[in-house]
C-alpha cells in the first residue's frame, strides 16, 4: 500500500503509517495538475485544508481507496464524486476541539485588555498607558452562539473565569444545556444581554449571515464580539458598520468569509477596535499531533484491515450487509437530513419503524445513517457514521426502533417519526427496484419523490395555475426543475409540491415564490446527492 501526504502534517502521522508497513511519500504544495498526474500511484491520500480533492483529481485516482482529512472540515473534498467511485472519505473530528475553544477565550481576553493594540504601540516606540484602558471579564455575561462540542468547552473555561454564560442553540435540548449551568435564550435576547459574544456554530445554509445588521444593532454599545468558528456565519460588512460607527466596542475574528484575506478584501482590518488572527483556531502543536495521529491510524486500519472509522460517506458494515441494505442506508440518511430541515425546535425522540422484508435485515446501519443525516445540517463535517449515535446520546435524544413483517402499500417501508419540543413530523420512504430511494409520505401527504440534492418544498392551495406560476417564476430566475412530485391532502384541500432543482434556490427567489398566489409556504432543502 502506498499513501501520499500532500499537506503539512505533524511528523507523528507519517511515522504511524510507516510503522504500519505502508509506503509513504510526502509531497506538499503540489499544483492541481501535478497532483492529478501522480495520484494514480496511490492507495491513500492524507490532506489538511490546502489540497483540493476535486472531481478531476478523483477521476484520475485509479487506485485510490481512502482520503483522510487531518481535521474536521471537508469542504475541500468532492464527497459525492468520491462516493460514486467507492473512495472512503474520513476525518478527525475530535482532535482540535480544546484548542479551538482556548483560542476563542484568548481572543476574548485580548479584546478585553487591548493586548494587540498595546503591543503594536510599544513596538512603535510609544508608551500610551492611558490609551488602552481595559475591562474585567469576571462577573460579565458571555453569550455563546452554538453550544455543541467546542461551545461547551468555551462555556466551561468562561465559568472558570467567573463569568455568567447564556447560549443560543435551537437544536440542543433545554435540560442538557441546563446541566452545563447555562441559560438557553433566543438570539435577540442573547444579543441584548451579553457583554461578550462568541460564535461556535458550523456554516450551513441556515447559519449563513445568521449574525447581521439586526443582530449587531441589538447588542450593547460596550459589548464585544468574537468568531473563531466559520467565516460566513456573520455578515462582515454589518460588523464593519457597527464597529466603525461606534455601535460596538470591539470584535475579534479568526475566520473570514474569503480566505486568505487582505485589507482590500476585508475593511475590518483597518479598524483600531478590531483584532484578528489568520485562522489559527486549530494551530497548536498538540492539536496537530492529535489529528495527525488519529487520521494516520484510521487510514492505516482501513487500508490494511478494512476497518472504517470516522467515515463521512461510508457506514461501518460488511460487504454482505451493504449488499442487502445499502440503498436503505442511503434512504435513511436522506430522510434524516430532510427531517432536520423541516423540523422546528430541538429533537427529543426518534422512532424508526421497519416494515416488510426490511424487518428481517440488519437495520442498525440504517438507523445510524438516519442519525448522521439528521445531524449533518447542523453539525456538518463534525458528524459521521461512527459518532452519530454518540451525538444522539449526548443530546439526550431517545432512539426507538421497531419492526413489523406487514407493509401495507410496499414490500419494504422505512417510517420515521421525529418528535421535538415544538411538535413532530413523520416521513416514510422505500426503495424502488434495487436501489432508487423514494419519499412516499410526508406527514399526511402521499407522494413519490426522490429525496436528494437541492430541492424546493412548497405548500399550496389545491387550485389551478399554481404549478404553472411556480415553474415560470423558477425558470425566469435561471432555476431548472429536474423532477416534480405533487401530494394532496383531501381534508384540507392543500397540496405539497417537491421539486428537484439544478441549483439551490437563493433567498431572493424564495421570497418571490412565497409571494405567489395560493402558496402558503415554501422552503429550500439541501439533501445528500443521489449517486445512483
| Catalytic positions | 230, 259, 279
- The sign of the CA dihedral 158, 162, 168, 173 is positive
CA–CA gap between residue 328 and residue 331 (Å, rounded): 5
> Which residues fall within 8 angstroms of residue 68, CB to CB, at 6 or more apart?
44, 45, 46, 47, 90, 91, 92, 295, 296, 298, 299
Q: Of the candidates 302, 300, 305, which has an alpha carbon nearest to the alpha carbon of residue 15?
A: 300
Pairs from 405-411 (Cβ < 8 Å, separation ≥ 24):
405/355, 405/356, 405/359, 405/360, 406/355, 406/356, 407/355, 407/356, 407/358, 408/355, 409/440, 410/355, 410/356, 410/440, 411/356, 411/357
Phi-psi region of 356 (alpha: psi -120 to 50; beta: other; left: phi over 0): left
Where b means 16+ CB within 10 Å and e means fewer, 302-325 reads bbeeeebbbbbbbbbbeeebeebb
Give percent helix, percent strand, percent coil of the chain, each to the nearest 5. 35, 25, 40
CA–CA gap between residue 324 and residue 341 (Å, rounded): 28
- Cell 462577573, residue located: 139
**275 and 107 in contact (C-beta within 8 Å)?**
yes
Q: How is residue 211 annotated by DSSP?
A: B
CA–CA gap between residue 419 and residue 466 (Å, rounded): 31
- Beta-strand ranges (E) seen in 278-373 are 347-356
User: Would you call 511 helix, strand, or coil by DSSP?
Assistant: helix
Q: Identify the bridge partners of residue 102 per DSSP, sorted by sequence position.
A: none
Q: Identify the bridge partners of residue 89 per DSSP, sorted by sequence position.
A: 67
- Cell 466596542, residue located: 249
**327 and 436 in contact (C-beta within 8 Å)?**
yes
**Cα 87 from chain centroid (whole Å):** 21
Question: Three cell numbers at 400?
Answer: 426507538
Amino acid at each position: 500500500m502506498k499513501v501520499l501526504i500532500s499537506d503539512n502534517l505533524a511528523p507523528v502521522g507519517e511515522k504511524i503509517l510507516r510503522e504500519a508497513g505502508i509506503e509513504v511519500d510526502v509531497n506538499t504544495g503540489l499544483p492541481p495538475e501535478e497532483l492529478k498526474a501522480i495520484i494514480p500511484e496511490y492507495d491513500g491520500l492524507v490532506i489538511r485544508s490546502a489540497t483540493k480533492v476535486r472531481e478531476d483529481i478523483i477521476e484520475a485516482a485509479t487506485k485510490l481507496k481512502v482520503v483522510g482529512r487531518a481535521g474536521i472540515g471537508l469542504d475541500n473534498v468532492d464527497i459525492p464524486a468520491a462516493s460514486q467511485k467507492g473512495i472512503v472519505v474520513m476525518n478527525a473530528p475530535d482532535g482540535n476541539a480544546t484548542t479551538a475553544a482556548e483560542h476563542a477565550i484568548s481572543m476574548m481576553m485580548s479584546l478585553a485588555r487591548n493586548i494587540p493594540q498595546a503591543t503594536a504601540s510599544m513596538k512603535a516606540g510609544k508608551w500610551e498607558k492611558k490609551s488602552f484602558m481595559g475591562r474585567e471579564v469576571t462577573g460579565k455575561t458571555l453569550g455563546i452562539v452554538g453550544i455543541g462540542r467546542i461551545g461547551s468547552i468555551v462555556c466551561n473555561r468562561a465559568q472558570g473565569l467567573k463569568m455568567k454564560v447564556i447560549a443560543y442553540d435551537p437544536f440542543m435540548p433545554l435540560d442538557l444545556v441546563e446541566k452545563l449551568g447555562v441559560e438557553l435564550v433566543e438570539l435577540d435576547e442573547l444579543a441584548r444581554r451579553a457583554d461578550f459574544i462568541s460564535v461556535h456554530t458550523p456554516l450551513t445554509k441556515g447559519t449563513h449571515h445568521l449574525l447581521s445588521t439586526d443582530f449587531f444593532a441589538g447588542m450593547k454599545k460596550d459589548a464585544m464580539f468574537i468568531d473563531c468558528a466559520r467565516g460566513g456565519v456573520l455578515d462582515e460588512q454589518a460588523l464593519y458598520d457597527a464597529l466603525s460607527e461606534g455601535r460596538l466596542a470591539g470584535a475579534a475574528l479568526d475566520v473570514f468569509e474569503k480566505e486568505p484575506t487582505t485589507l482590500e478584501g476585508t475593511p475590518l482590518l483597518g479598524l483600531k477596535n478590531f483584532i484578528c488572527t489568520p485562522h489559527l483556531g486549530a494551530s497548536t502543536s498538540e492539536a496537530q499531533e492529535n489529528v495527525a495521529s488519529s487520521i494516520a491510524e484510521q487510514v492505516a486500519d482501513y487500508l490494511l484491515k478494512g476497518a472504517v472509522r470516522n467515515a463521512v460517506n461510508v457506514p461501518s458494515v460488511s460487504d454482505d450487509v451493504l449488499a442487502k441494505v445499502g440503498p436503505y442506508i442511503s434512504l435513511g440518511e436522506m430522510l434524516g437530513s430532510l427531517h432536520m430541515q423541516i423540523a422546528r425546535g430541538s429533537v427529543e425522540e426518534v422512532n424508526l419503524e421497519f416494515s416488510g422484508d426490511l424487518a428481517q435485515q440488519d437495520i442498525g446501519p440504517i438507523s445510524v445513517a438516519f442519525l448522521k443525516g439528521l445531524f449533518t445540517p447542523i453539525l456538518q463535517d463534525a458528524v459521521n457514521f461512527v459518532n452519530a449515535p454518540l451525538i444522539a446520546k449526548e443530546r439526550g435524544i431517545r432512539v426507538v426502533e421497531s419492526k413489523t413483517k406487514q407493509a401495507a402499500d410496499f414490500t419494504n417501508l422505512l417510517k420515521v417519526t421525529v418528535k421535538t419540543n415544538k411538535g413532530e413530523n413523520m416521513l416514510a420512504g422505500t426503495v424502488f427496484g434495487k436501489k432508487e430511494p423514494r419519499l412516499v409520505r410526508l406527514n399526511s401527504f402521499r407522494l413519490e419523490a426522490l429525496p436528494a440534492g437541492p430541492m424546493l418544498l412548497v405548500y399550496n392551495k389545491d387550485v389551478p395555475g399554481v404549478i404553472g406560476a411556480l415553474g415560470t417564476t423558477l425558470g425566469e430566475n435561471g432555476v431548472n426543475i429536474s423532477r416534480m412530485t405533487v401530494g394532496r391532502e383531501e381534508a384540507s384541500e392543500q397540496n405539497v409540491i417537491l421539486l428537484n432543482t439544478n441549483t439551490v434556490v437563493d433567498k431572493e427567489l424564495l421570497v418571490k415564490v412565497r409571494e405567489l398566489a395560493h402558496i402558503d409556504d415554501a422552503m429550500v432543502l439541501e439533501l445528500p446527492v443521489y449517486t445512483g
